[in-house]
Amino acid sequence: MEFRFSIGSSFKTPNSPVLVSSSPNKTNFKLISKNQRFSFRIVSAVSYKEFAESALEETRKRVVLETSPLQERYSSMTGLDGKTELQMLAFKSSKIRLLRSMAIENETMQVFDFAGFMEPEYDTPIFCANFFTSANTNIVVLDLNPLHQLTDKTDYQEKYYNNIMSIYHKYAEIFPWGGKLTGESIKFFSPLVMWTRFSSSQEKHTALFSAFLEFYQAWLEMTIQVTEEMEPSQVRANREAQHKYLTWRAQKDPGHGLLRKLLGETKAKELLRDFLFNGVNELSTKTFIDYFPEYQTEDGNVNDKRSIIGKSFETRPWDSTGRFIG
């Protein structure tokens, strides 16, 4: 199957941004003993920065983007190891509260976290691309995370997902379900979600680029079509739903361990709460325990456990029409 991206005309070909390197400077030959045995390790060189650039280029064709005030404080950082680069981008528009990207790169690892959050007057889903690439594996979540609860009977599912399920079908074969995941995550995911793990290959990274832009284009279209909510109670519900999402991710996202290792506890926390999940301090005064009381410890603190439920959902819990089957 070929995954050339077809919506819009001026996407770069997937070949340019996603090179799993075969060039000598990106390939490590490592001598491991004196008797001429050596190991051969190909460092995958996916450039997620170019994923971000392509999405932003598409956005600018349709929407007036302004630089977010966050950009002044967050542009680039170097990890404590002196070798890992973090690059941050942040924009807003009249409807999009925050469109932000973080790309992390060193010789052996590339991470991409790209998200879009609407102003509370709009109930559009949250754009979510989280890709973690190391020498051995890729961990991928790509989704339009629902702002409101989904079942096949809700208007929200009908409004945003039913008519774009073909996007899921297009990638279902090349990116099969990634297996058990933190049980709590599933309610933040939609039936469109691409949750997968794979070993790097040119074919997979080309398809990932194509999927990323296709999901993004679907999201962008929703943000353009959506009309402003006038009912104050509905605006409040949108704001609180976004805040609950931000609160969960600012506290329990699986990337935390790595960010702490790269930046130290204080800087990692600041990056999470002020940049990546910006809004967690502003959209509501509710706390993590207000939303997730099962995490309260006897002394009133938040349980450190990543998950109370544990890992679940060995197989994809939606059928092909997007109906939740658990």
Under the rule (CB under 6 A), what is the footprint of ligand BLA? 111, 113, 128, 130, 132, 139, 141, 145, 181-182, 185, 188, 249, 254-255, 258-259
CA distance 289 to 324: 27
CB of 181 to ligand BLA, least distance (A): 3
Name the residue number minimizing CB distance to ligand BLA. Answer: 255
Least separation, in Å, of the C-beta of 77 and ligand BLA? 12
Q: Which is nearer to ligand BLA, 93 or 145 (CB)?
A: 145
Token digits of residue 208: 């990932």
Q: Which amino acid is at 122?
A: Y
In the complex, what is the shortest distance from the CB of residue 146 to ligand BLA, in angstroms, rounded to a whole number?
10
Residue 313 to residue 141: CA distance in whole angstroms = 15
Measured from the CB atom, is 224 or 309 closer to ligand BLA?
309
Dig out the tokens for 83 from the structure: 């070798």
Q: Which is nearer to ligand BLA, 133 or 210 (CB)?
A: 133
Count CA atoms closer than 13 A to 1's CA, side-chain side. Answer: 13
Shortest CB 11 distance to ligand BLA, Å: 24
CA atoms within 13 A of residue 148's CA, in its CB half-sphere: 20
Angle subtended at Cα 177 by Cα 176 and Cα 178, rounded to the nearest 5 degrees: 110
Residue in 26, 3, 16 with CA at minimum distance from that of residue 208: 3
DSSP state of 15: T
Nearer to ligand BLA, 68 or 145 (CB): 145
- How far apart CA 123 and CA 232 sit, in angstroms, is 13
What residue type is assigned to position 257 of the chain?
A: G
Q: Shortest approach of ligand BLA to residue 305 CB, angstroms?
A: 12
The pairing of beta strand 76-78 with beta strand 85-92: antiparallel
Q: Which is nearer to ligand BLA, 96 or 181 (CB)?
A: 181
* Identity of the residue, 26 or 260, whose beta carbon is nearer to ligand BLA in the bound complex: 260
Nearest-approach distance from CB 140 to ligand BLA, in angstroms: 9
